Structure 1
Amino acid sequence: MPARPTSKKSAGDVSGTIIRGLDDCKTFAVFAGVECVNVPNAGCTRCDHIVAQQYPTFTWDKEYLVTPFGTGRDANGQSLKQEGGYVIRLLREDNTATATVNGSPVTWNGRFAEVQVNNFSPRCITASKPISVAQYMKGQACNGLPQFYEGNTIAKGDPAMLILNPSSQTVRSVVFNTVTTGNLSDHFVNVIVRSSDLNCLTLDGLAVATSNFQPFPNCNGYSYAVLQISNGSHKLECPQGFIAYCYGVGVRESYAYTAGASFENLQFKIQVDDPYNVANISGPVESCTGIDMALNAVGEDAISWEWNFGDGSPVVSGQTVNHQYNTPGNYNVQLTVTLVVGCGTREVQVNRNITVLEFPQVDFGPPRAFCTGTSIALNAPTFADPVTYLWSNGATTPNITVNTPGTYSLTVSNAVGCAASGSVLVNEIPPPVLSFTGLANAYCADAAAINLPSVVSPALPSASSFSVNGISTTTFNPQALGPGTYTIVFSLEDPATGCISQIEKAVIIQALPSLNLSNVPAQVCANTPPFALAPLASPANGTFTLNGAPISLLNPQNLNVGQTYSLRYAYTDPATGCSNQAETSLQVLPLPTPAFVDLPARFCANADNINFFTMVSPSDSQNGRFALNTSQELSSSEAQAFDMETLNPGSTYTLSYTFRDPATNCENTVSQSFTLTPLPEVAFIGLNEIFCPNDSPVVLASKVDKPGGTFTLNGTPLTTFAPADYAPGQSYVLLYVYQDPATGCSQTISQTLSIPSLPVLGNLPPAFCQESSLFVFSASPEGGTFTLNGQPVTDFDPSQYAAGLYTLIYTDAGNCASATTQFEVLAPVPPVSVSVAETICDEFGTEVPVRLDATEGIADASQDVAYQWLDLPSQERFAQATRSGSYVVLVENAQGCTETRTFTLSAREDCTPRLYLPEAFSPNGDGLNDELEVFGKYFTQFNLTIFNRWGEVVFQSFTPERRWDGTENGKDALAGVYVVKLAYRLLSESFLRQETRRLVLVR
């Protein structure tokens, strides 16, 4: 046992005790345990009852694998890994046996040894002789599981005992159950397998992911998985064998037992010898069919041996026997050994599994052959068991493809190492030789079709096939295929060998040259100048014919008007030698016949808006155009409204008219001359441009150098201009038209006549105060002069003039008219003079306010004036102030003249402290009297209490700075009368003042 038992019935630690029966003829079982034990010591609560059946010594072995307890989390998210570790106990029958744990030697205490593991990790145990190993789960205080509090501190887990199986005692399938009690909530199974067999394990029919496994650090070849499972029945399977331990934990509870392991007698073992198993006494046995193997029973004290090979063959006797398996499969060899015991004999059975694989056979049969340019596949035989392949060319695949002749060999080996070899001869057959004998490299797109069998060698139509760009055909037709590069393939199968030979050739079909005659006109006018045809064709350097006759320069003037001609162009591409031709038609069109109609021989120099289109036929502004002297082109709008003033008078001009026939687009031009006659010269003499409204009338004929014409003023005919008949402030345009009787050409001259506006004075007040600022006179029109009471002026300073009436006159710049007005200068305001001798107490105000007199000491202060105090509520001569500071008064007389003065009222320093409390306030949110404020200073003690009509306190303050906002318990207090009680002591007083006042709250 791992510790001293705590039970009062304990007989002490009996680990390592040998128990023998008194009668050798009878067998017995041994159960060991403790009524209540703390693991690993008394300091690890809590104790628990543990017990387990001890395994017979013939099931012991020399290698054990120990796995840690727990993984994952419980329903509350708590970790289930027993980070505190576990305890290992080792037992030995032979006191000379030694052992190591993870490579470290253990210290024996007689026949047992104990190892503490204090973390979550596995252990590998190896011994020099068979031993037994037990694993113990630690108590809840030491297992590392998290503790929690439910009235007192508790945790999961408790001591548990697990007798381990050696690595040699495995099972292939097991059904097991978890333990179900009220406290057990979390269940696990630990599974140990060989690392090479990780993919074999299934739990309840589902594969266990290899990611769940961890390797044993010190036991190469083994891995373990800690799996959290549900409560109930489960099934584990692995054909290659495994060891499993089932356990669980709960609050103050645990259990553990061996779920899957065998208990074979390991005192006798079966040793196998053959070419693939040399003295194999413990490892897996694998051999092949047809292999003779020797089986030897290893052990002592036997008197007979009987062998059952598991393949249906007869039972054979003897300690060493030979056997051969001829069918692949898994066989269980069962050895029955008869032993001599104290009072008779006893039979012991030993089992060993033997896996027999099929011995490979390799036979390729007769030689193989392939045609040159192809390949052949060499396929290995198929086998039921996994095998490896090695070809003579180094390939390791079941099948290979080769394209060179020679002998190829294959060696096939299975997992046991059984191997067989075979070879095959591969020959190469050359294909027939093919050639193209009459096929050119290129053809023009208009070439004739070619019969392909007639241009190849050998000519074997029945065995041949042809294709053009992958399409099977025996004809190559350039006209049908069109330009491009084509691959012609010729294939021939040798009737004798079956080998196919193939050649191909790229043949180009050259495109015919593309000709473009789009620049050659289909129609030409009869007057079109001669032109060369070569630049109009693309590509160039070809030849033209006109109605079959060669031509290079085309002159429409030599052709028949109205006739249609055939024009043909031929061209050969120098790069490809391919030719092409194009044809077009050519028609010679007649010319239009324009003419002048009613074009005058002369025009006056001021003639304008002349429409030349009314003077030609056909008259067409869209298709006709004009030019002067050939070089001056006229736009359509200019030709329809031409202004002769743009030309030089006295000159002769040639007018050309070109008309384009919209039906044929052909043009023709006619010309005619005209002369531009100069205009007569005429001028105004002695005619003024500005007239005063009262000027005398003027006879206009006397004011021109050539009379006899007509006058108009702003469009109205007249002969005399009288200024008095026209409105002042405006301008008038005078026109004079004179016609030369010799040429009939007229000349018009003009002049603007102006009558100035009557002067108007700017805004001028009817009166000025003497204290008014400088005033600048203004009038319109500007530029005139001002006089004040006969004296020239430009501005006016009232302070420089005595009170009285003044006359202002403004005369315009032309001295045509003037404007007159009068204004008054007013008497000044009585002077404001204030003297303030008093001072005032700011702290609490004063019972007698200071009186301010705006006109103190002024003799005429009684005249008609108005007063306005800007900082005090008074519009009289006198005002009362209750605070120190500056005060402003504005004095204004009946004429609006004003004077302003400022008073300064000083504060007294010897004010006696006093208190002021308003009798009413209105907390309505209008910003005025919204809070009740106590005015005063110098308090050494202060208490303000306000009662409502029912005698309830609604507000209380111990400092005058705290104000009442008219609320009671956070809500607006009712409007009405409240009682205020005051108790206060002033700085200069030793007694307490107490007052009761009335307060009105207004809403």
Structure 2
Amino acid sequence: PMQNAYQSAFGTGSYKMFVTKINATGSALIFSTYLGGSGEEDIGTGIATDTAGAVYVTGCTGSSNFPVTPGAFQTAFGGGNIMNGIWQASDAFVTKFNSSGTLVYSTFLGGSGDENEYYDTFNGDVALAIHGWGKIAVNRAGEAHLVGHTQSPNFPLTAGAFQTTGTSGGTYNNYDFFFTVLNAAGSNLVYSTYVGGSTIAPGGNSAREYVGNIALIENTCAGATTVIGAGTSHSDGFPTTAGVFQPAKLNSYADQPVIFRFSLGAGTFLTASVTATPATCGNSDGSATVTASGGTPGYTYSWIPSGGSSSTATGLSAGNYTCIVTDGNGCSQAQIITINNSNGPTVTTATTPQTCVQGGTATANASGGTLPYTYQWCNGQTTSAASNLSAGTCTVTVTDAGGCSVTSTVTITSSVSTPSTAVTSTPAACGNNNGTSTVTASGGNGSYTYGWSTSPVQTTATATGLAGGTYTITVTDANGCTKTATVSITQTGGPTVTTSTTPQTCTAGGTATANPSGGTSPYTYQWCNGQTGSTASNLSAGSCTVTVIDAGGCSTTSTVVITSSGSIPTATVTSTPASCGNNNGTATANVSGGTSPYTYSWNPTGQTSSAATGLAAGVYTVTVTDAIGCSAIQTISVTSNSTLNATITSTQTGCTVNNGTATASVSGGTSPYTYLWNPSGQTASTATGLGAGNYSVTMTDANGCTQTQTAVITSVPGPAAAVSAASTNITIGNNTSLTATGGGTYSWSPAAGLSCATCANPVATPSQTTTYCVVVTDGNGCTDNACLTINIDIPCGDIFVPNAFSPNNDGENELECVLGSCIETLKFSIFDRWGEKVFETTDPKICWDGTYKGKLLNTAAFVYYLKGVLTSGEKINRKGNISLIR
């Protein structure tokens, strides 16, 4: 099968190769193509792929027009030996397709002899050509590596080849290996050499080598490729190397396996050297530098755990670090670096607590580092011991002679805590001696006493009756520890106030603002209208007072006068009524006063002119606004002319004759009135001769106002049919009496099995369970119907097969069934008159519906065969006729 084929036709000759690529699941072709020219044979012997999914093929070709590409290494057929006129000359070839089957390059590879073809003889004649000796492998660079065999003395080689002379001399049945590397474009040789012996084995007639396979081992980090070839050699002189497993041929008369290996493009491995600088004084000031060489330039660096990305890492603490160097080819080398440290001094401390009569002390005891040491305490002291320290934390920094330092923190406790105080106060207000001050004590040893610098001395936590000035409070706890604090009592006079106003307008009330000064802030405000902010708004024209009270309770009162500006427009509104219940009323606003021009807004219509039109009956409001924003609002009612009203009465129609009537009675509106009935088309107030249904009448008065009403005409009730039976369950072969009531005449269906189909009381003798329906007709020709089912019971031991059924979708006798209540097993078969089986079942619940192969059969006679076993063990074997009636 061909798919995306480069060459879709077989061509001429006996053998042509094909190249096929299948997807990863083996479920579909990616591409498939013939490959060859017009020669006798084009044989593929080796195939390989690269990392991009391209396909490389090698083998031998006898076609001088084998497909090659422009710029390929060898575009002309090299030739070869034609043996006894039978086998053709051959060259090796290399062809590359991309991953989708497009030809990338194709080239011959060979000299004047044969490549990749082997001939053997039978009774002195060439009788057999064996192919399959060329193999191929591809490296990451896309270079094709080939091994095969050649008779050509001029096979293409490269400078520096391992073996530059072939041993076959172009003679029949003498071959050498060749090993060739093509560049990625297929345009030139990277390397090519003979590999083979020159000695013909005793008793033999050839010195030949045949290839079995090729393998590549790539060392990307060293830039080298190892190629391993395997095959067989008939030559005693195959080249071997020292120290190999088997340096000489063991059997001169036989082909023996050989392995050869070439190493190409050996490079240098990535290496790295390290220099390090230690950290000092326990600080993070060490550094390390890694120098890379070898491999492929374009080095990158990754430091762990510091996270650096350059060749030098700085700011390092003492410890071990790893630097991973990666070259441009992705090869990596890890170096472990140890950063040492010259330690600074260490320090231990001792303390004594603070008391209420003296401060605490702290002593620093330094060791390590380089003597002498210097000291720096939190309170500026510079000896090894600090004194008079307050309770809390204090730091000391010890520095040795080398400049290395260490810092330690001490905590000074308090053996007897001193009380703490917090003082609050209120000022002396309005020029009076009414200031206060309160001290809150905490800490110490409870049970505090107080002494205020007042005359006389006040001894409670709160001092009262204070004039403006500075006071001292001394708090003493039970241990005699004291805490002194000062407080300033301010002396304030009462506030004064100035005011400003804005006038009342037609759109907003006036405003007034009080601006207090003096006294003690914050201030509170009380306006005449109850507002409490510094500014009162929405004030009416006239006078208004404001009282300002400061934080000391001092107050002052001021009166403001609010003026009014501008006149307000007035509006009157007239209207015309809406007629016939339509939206055709109007309302018009007439404005005076204010400042023109005016704008209008009608609610709820949203109209904006002085006259609102298209109005339904109802109440409407217009807001008129003048040029300075003053507005007037008026409301008007739009009335409606008398509405046309109607009532409809009707009489019933008979069930067989249209004799109903409908009458429209009109009130309101303006007479005279006209009428139009639909669908009858009558134009009087009363429509006659109506059948059952809905009728609408449109009434129009003298003003063109209309009203539409609907009359419903019903028909007189017909008969009520009922049906009963003496028994609704009978044994097959028996009968029962049916009784119908409710009408004058009766019609039964189905008529089969009835003694009379038009009697009120027929006798029913059904052969199977049957539903009987009766149509009852009264004297007016009105009808009704009712149905009743007579169930047939077939006693155990009896099986009944009806001899007729009518599958015509009328709901009666639709199925042909085997009837019986004690059937254990059965086989029920039905045949047409030509003997073809049209139905068969072994399930007594499955019946025939008159179809065969999904199609309904026409009226015809059929034969049935029935075999069965009853639950009693009795066997049944019957046959008979069945009529299918449409």
More helix by share: 1
Asked which structure has the greater CA Rg, the reply is 1
TM-score, structure 1 normalization: 0.27
TM-score, structure 2 normalization: 0.30
